[in-house]
Amino acid sequence: MGKLDGKVAVITGGGSGIGRGVARLFAGEGAAVGIFDLDAANAKAVADEIAAEGGKAAIAIGDVSKEADVEAGLKSLVSALGSDVDIMVNNAGMDTTHELDGMPTDMWDRMLNVHLRGTFLFTRAVLPGMKKKKWGRVINLSSQLAHKGAPTMTHYVAAKAGIMGFTRALAYEVARDGITVNCVNPGPINTPLLNSLPQDWLNRKKNELPIGRFGEVDEVAPVFLLLASDEGSYFIGASLNVNGGDYMI
């Protein structure tokens, strides 16, 4: 018996990094997993990994910031997996660095659209099904930088802080419908996204960490499982900080 037997989970950005780790862990615990990603090859590779291990997975390709992509993707995943979504993991993200002085407007807009608009669009779309079931889990990916801030990342920090505020406000709205809404605030985790940042940024960040190293996906994914399972039923509007001591709260 898995902790997520009979549940349908959708994970945005599930084709790599933290999303891939969460998708595989959820499938191993019995969930049917929908992977929504921009990269078709990555999404298919994760779905194939899950199938090879005896799990059930489906993929949909699109941009989390585009309403039509979200609606079409969710419709496809629900049809393939056979049920409305029980667990929504808003994980899709991006990362760039730039001082605010001179930051292009489209860089700012893209960051907020992927992180904050994408979280809004997917969450809004799955809530009716969760309310019908009187059970649901919404897990949003924020960041320790939403607490701490970081130079050259005003756009990223603003988006992640917005997700944290969104999480808390929505938690009030839906808790009595049997739906929990929480976020995970990882520190720097060894993923393709992190490693796309400039090397001097990475070196400086590693030196700031009390633990002296970046985290691994396998150290973060179990937090998502806790929040997704019945064991996480008393977490409401929480921000769980898995960050190697980068921000202690």
Catalytic site positions: 156
Residue 146 CA to residue 151 CA, distance in Å, equals 12
Residue 36 CA to residue 60 CA, distance in Å, equals 5
Residue 241 CA to residue 117 CA, distance in Å, equals 23
In 10 A of CB 157, how many CB atoms? 19
At 156, list the tokens: 């990223």
Distances (CA, A) of 234 to 83, 114, 144, 168: 25, 29, 22, 14
Smallest CA-to-CA distance from 201 within 91, 92, 98, 93 is with 98
- Amino acid residing at 197: L
Helix H, strand E, coil C: the string for 81-110 is HCCCCCEEEECCCCCCCCCCCCCCHHHHHH
Name every residue whose Cβ is closer than 8 Å to that of residue 121 and which is 6 or more positions away in sequence: 64, 65, 67, 70
Residue 96 CA to residue 115 CA, distance in Å, equals 13
At 172, list the tokens: 């009030």
Name every residue whose Cβ is closer than 8 Å to that of residue 68 and which is 6 or more positions away in sequence: none
